[in-house]
Each structure stands twice: as structure tokens, then as C-alpha cells.
Structure 1
Amino acid sequence: MKLRLILLSVISLTLASDAGWYIYQAVHDAGASTTADAPSSPPPAVQTVSGETVVVVGPEAQRASHIEVAPLAAVTSQSGISAYATVIDLQPLFDLRNRLASAHADVGTFTAQAASSRAQYQRSRALYADDRNISQKSLQDAQSAMQADDAKLQSARVTLNGLDGAMRQQFGDALANAAAAPASKLFQRLLSGEAVVLRVTLPASFGMVPPERIAVDTADGCAVPAQKLSASALADPTVQGSPWLYVADAALPANLRTSARVPTSSQAASGLLIPARAVVWYGGQTWAYVRTAQDRFTRRFVPAGSEGIREGDHGFMVSAGFHAGDQIVTQGAQLLLSEELKPQGIATACKDPPECDD
């Protein structure tokens, strides 16, 4: 009997030991599986790598925030200044040209009449001198007709010269010559609306001969080349400086006020053009974000003023700090700046809404 009890006790202890080991193993394996399956915590949104501040934004967040990038390309540009430009209303020029053409026709007509009446007077005087073959009254009538035709011719010439002078005073020699030429290609382009004339006012301190070619900004943000015509006899009353006339092959509305880029050197400089929409202001300076990895963005300084060349309203041309092919952020740069400047490690969501009422 005692032997049986001892045997049962041993069997019970063995079964209990096996059950305990099984439970321990199951709990241990479950804990290990939970630890392995738990997702790793995401990296912080702002990091510091090699002394640079890096904003981390995943691809999904980039698409949701409409963050767009574009590669930088090398460009060449000339140093220059920005000048005021106004598209001139050419209707007065067309009207003067029509009146000038009519005055030219009158001069031709009266020239022929004056020549005819002079010849008639010469014949009448010869006949009168040859033993009075015509009466003195006929000779006087021929002389009066000649003098009248000469006066008409002189008046037509004065009118023609006055119109030519008015045209040159308002529109300069180049446009006046084009209007007077019967087959001027320049005037035909202006008349058909394929080209416009701009009055470009250079600063009084420009200090050099105006360049033959400049670039004029259009309303859609593009630039068209313009060719110098002549000095402008009329100035823009709202702008002080030296006015010059330029012609551009573009359809621009009359009296449009725009700007022109006037080169100050014939030497072309090469660099990278940072688009204006990619530039953000912070701390009184200009910056741009570059995507250095699929989900990482770094803010870099964009030189301005004496260190950078401002390309009108198109952006900044730089020669340092960036490289050709850099993925520059063209949309969403302000959002990245806000994310970079946001305090890190501060919970923005309340876990227990009733306790947030205080």
C-alpha cells in the first residue's frame, strides 16, 4: 500500500513538472512573438545629421501635403538691372502716317500743277514778247496761275514737313523712317499687331550706352527679347530717367506697364536658377529646401543681394550651396519650414478629453 502511494506521488509530481514547463514555454514564446511583431517606433520628424537639420516626411505624407520637387539645371545669365517699361499706343502713329501719305500725295499733285502752270507762263511770255501775239491780260492770268500753284505746292510741303516733324518728335527717327518707307517690314509688323513698341526708362545713373537687346517681362511670367529703335523724344511723366524705344515681337496690350531686364555687361555668368516659388523667408534671409533622400529634406541658404543675382520675379541665380540635379522643393517649402520650427516632443493630442477642459 505504501509502495502504491509513493508511486502515485512520483507520477503526480512528474505530471505537474511537465505542465509547469509547458506553461512557462508557452508564455515565453508568446512574449517573444509579441516583441518581434511590435512595430518599431517612427523616427522623429526633425533630425540633425552632420550638422544639418533634416525634416523627415514619408512618401504618403508628401503626396497628402502636395509637396513637389524639380531638378535644378545650369543656366547662363548676364548681369543687369530692372527698368520700367510701357507699351506705347501706336494709334496716333498710324493716324500721322495716313496724314503723311496724304500730304505726300498733295505735294506730288501740286508739284505737277506748278510745273504745268510754269511752263504755260513761259509760253505765254514768249508769245507776248514776240510782237504781242497774246494779250497782256492772258500773260498776267498765266502768271497768276503759276504763282497760285507755287503757293499751293509750298503749303503742301510745309504741311508734309510739319507732319514728319510731329512724328519724329513723338515716336523718334526710327519709327518715323519706317512709317515714311512704302515697304517697311517693321511698320507692317506694327500695323498687323505682330510687334509692339515699348518705352523703357533707364535710370539716370545707368552711365553707359543702352544695349541693343533687352528682355521684357510679359503678363504670363515669360520674357520676350526686344530690339533697340532709338531714343524716345517723350518721357514717362511718372518715371524719372532716360527713355528709349524698343520693339518686341509680341502681342501686348497698349499702355501695359511691365518691367525689362537690361544687361549691364556682355559677359555671361553661369549658375543655377532657384525658382521664386521655391524660396522661403526665415530670419530675414532666403532659403530653399532640397530633398536629399526619398523622405528627407534639408534647408539651404539662398544668397541674395550682392551675393546672388536676382532674375526679376523668376528667382535667384546662385553659384554655391547647390548642385545641378538637386531636387529642389517647388511646392510645400513653407509647410516644411513650419514642420522644422514646430517644437518637438510635445504631445498635441489629449488622451483624456474630460481632463483637457481645465
Structure 2
Amino acid sequence: MIVRLSLPRAARMLCAAWLIVASVTAAATEVDAATQARLGLALAELHAAQAPLELSATAEVLDPSTLAKAADDIAALQATADASRAEAQRVQALYAADGNMSRKAVEAARAQAAVDQSKLQQARTQLRMDWGSAIAGMDAGTLHARTEALLDGRMAWLKAEPLAAPAAGFQPAGALLHPGDTVARVLGPLPRSSAGLAGGWLLEAPGAGLTPGMLLTARLQGSGAGASGVLLPRGAVVRWNGVAWAYVATDATHFERRAVTALAMTAAGWIVGAPFTAGEKVVTRGAGALIALDAAPAEPGKPGDDD
């Protein structure tokens, strides 16, 4: 038998619907073993964790067309520089072998190779100024492949600029984008900023739903420890009526619904504090089914109805 803790009758009449107000106080749901198996409930034990140092930032999705042009230019300049260098080596070898090449021809080939290499270096310097050292350090093939992924929409690059001055030496190791809690990689620092606080960082994230010019917020996560709490797996968090919830097993058949407030959000899950404690077990699969049980109106005469 499934027993749902219901709102008082007067409150239900006042709301005129069962899906109106989500209380942040704990609610208990009883589910017998057979029903748990049918719903496919799975549990995981909570373990102590330290929240990473975080820095809030704006995150703007960048237009990849300028990078694509720079990548094409660099690829062409690289091919030209390689060809002129090879020609200079060929002319030098012929000159050294039998003198069929004049010294003037050798010097001209060397000069052309130097000019082409200089043009390539200038393009890479401009790339470094616009996109940072991590991108400028990519070879032409890698840069072309990354650009194609951006143009196809498989990936997106974002410019993250801090909303407050970062602590000295702060270096982000990862980021979470909001809305959506999308995990982003930090590719490296950016040399230019419009925020006036720091140069910002270049982020890479899955491109689904991200279009150039879109503005998001980001939590940049640095090395070092922040607030203490427990790691709540992402699968344990379910949203209902605009509130994030998780279910804690209080015994073999009872599950307590608790509102979740994150101290930090990581790729592995949410770092949360009280009322969650290490050693408790939370529902990591099937929490949505428990929400549905809580939301369903109680049948007349069944436990949970107020008579």
C-alpha cells in the first residue's frame, strides 16, 4: 500500500488544485518493497565533500565565424610557409651539390621563406590576442577541426567574465552554465575583457541550444576547498513547482522529501549542507515517481485524507 502525506483539507480547498504550493518542509512518503521494485528505485549513500572555490561570471556565446576565417587564413599561410621552406631547402641542396643554383637564387628562396614564416607568425600573434594562448598554440589541423565543430553547432565557445574581482591566483578548473546546469571546460584565459575586473576565460560547452550572442551566467570553479557539505548526485535532484527536491530514505519503506539548496554545483553533483548529512541514503533513480505519488490527490477514505 502507498501512503501519501497530504495537505489539510482546508488548504486543498483554498488552493483549488493539488499542484499549487510546494512546501520546503519535509514530507514523508511510504512505499512498500514491491512498489519500490516496480518503480525501479535506486539509492546511494551520501558522502562528505568540500565545495570548490567559485566565482560568478557572465558567459556570452561567441560567434565562430571570425575564428573560422582566422583558422582558414592560418591554414593557408601554414601551407605557403611549408612550401617556401621546402623550396629554400631544395635550392640550397642543389647549390651545395653542383652549383647549378646561384647564390642569388638561394638568398631569394631563403628570403621568401622568411617572409612567409613571418606572415604566419603575425596571424598566430593576432589569434593569440583575440582568443588566447591556448587557441593560438593549436596546430592548423586541430584548429580547423575545432572550428568545424563550432560551425556545425556540436560545440560552442563562450567568453566568461567575472562579476567580482577574483581572489589572487584564482584559476578556474571547470564551469557550470545556467540555465541548464551545463558543464563547460575551461580552455584558457582570454587576453581582453570588457568587465574591467580580469581578462576572463574561454569556455567550451556542448552546442545544443546555444547560439551566438546568447548571454548566460556561469559558476567558475577553482582549485581549493570552499564550504563543507555532502555530495548529492545529480540523479537525486528533481524539480517540482519550481523547487529542487531530493528524497532521503528514513527506513526501508519511508522516504522524506527535502528541499535542496546548493552550496556549489559540480559535474558529479550538488554540494549541499543541512538537512542532508553524510551516511544518509538518497533516491538516485525514481525520484520523479515519488514526486508523482506526492502530487496525486488522495483517494477518499485512504490514509492521508483529513476527516
TM range (shorter): 0.5 to 0.7
Residue 10 of structure 2 corresponds to which residue in structure 1? none
Structure 2 counterparts to residues 307-322 of structure 1, below 5 A: 308-311=263-266, 315-322=269-276
Residue 39 of structure 2 corresponds to which residue in structure 1? 65
Could you state the TM-score of these two structures normalised by the residue count of structure 1?
0.50
Q: Tell me if structure 2 keeps the 8 A contact 1:213–1:225.
A: no
Larger Rg: 1
Give 1:295 deviation, angstroms. 0.7
Secondary structure, counterpart of 1:203 in structure 2: strand
Amino acid at match of 2:116: T
Give 1:338 deviation, angstroms. 3.2
Aligned-residue CA RMSD in angstroms?
5.2
- The yes-or-no answer on 1:162 pairing with 2:119 is yes
Moved over 6 A (4+): 84-91, 110-116, 221-225, 255-261
Distance 1:112 1:342, change over 3 A: closer
Matched pairs, number? 251
Distance 1:111 1:206 in 2: 58
Give 1:232 deviation, angstroms. 6.6
Residue 214 of structure 1 corresponds to which residue in structure 2? 173
Amino acid at match of 2:286: G
Residue 100 of structure 1 corresponds to which residue in structure 2? 81
Question: Would you tell me which structure has more strand in proportion to its own residues?
Answer: 2
Could you report, residue by residue, the CA deviation over 1:291-334 in whole angstroms, capped at 9, with x for unpaired residues? 10111111112114xxx32336x542102111112111122223
Quick one: which of 324, 331, 337 aligns to 2:291?
337
Quick one: which of 241, 244, 248 aligns to 1:286?
244
Secondary structure, counterpart of 1:288 in structure 2: strand
Give 1:61 deviation, angstroms. 1.4
Secondary structure, counterpart of 1:293 in structure 2: coil
Secondary structure, counterpart of 1:281 in structure 2: strand
Distance 2:276 2:286 in 1: 19
Distance 1:277 1:77 in 2: 18
Give 1:97 deviation, angstroms. 4.0
Quick one: which of 235, 244, 249 aligns to 1:277?
235
Amino acid at match of 1:203: E
Could you state the TM-score of these two structures normalised by the residue count of structure 2?
0.57
Distance 1:177 1:343 in 2: 61
Distance 1:345 1:69 in 2: 28
Residue 30 of structure 2 corresponds to which residue in structure 1? 56
Distance 1:223 1:44, change over 3 A: closer
Q: Tell me if structure 1 keeps the 8 A contact 2:187–2:201.
A: no
Q: Tell me if structure 1 keeps the 8 A contact 2:81–2:113.
A: no
- The yes-or-no answer on 1:301 pairing with 2:259 is yes
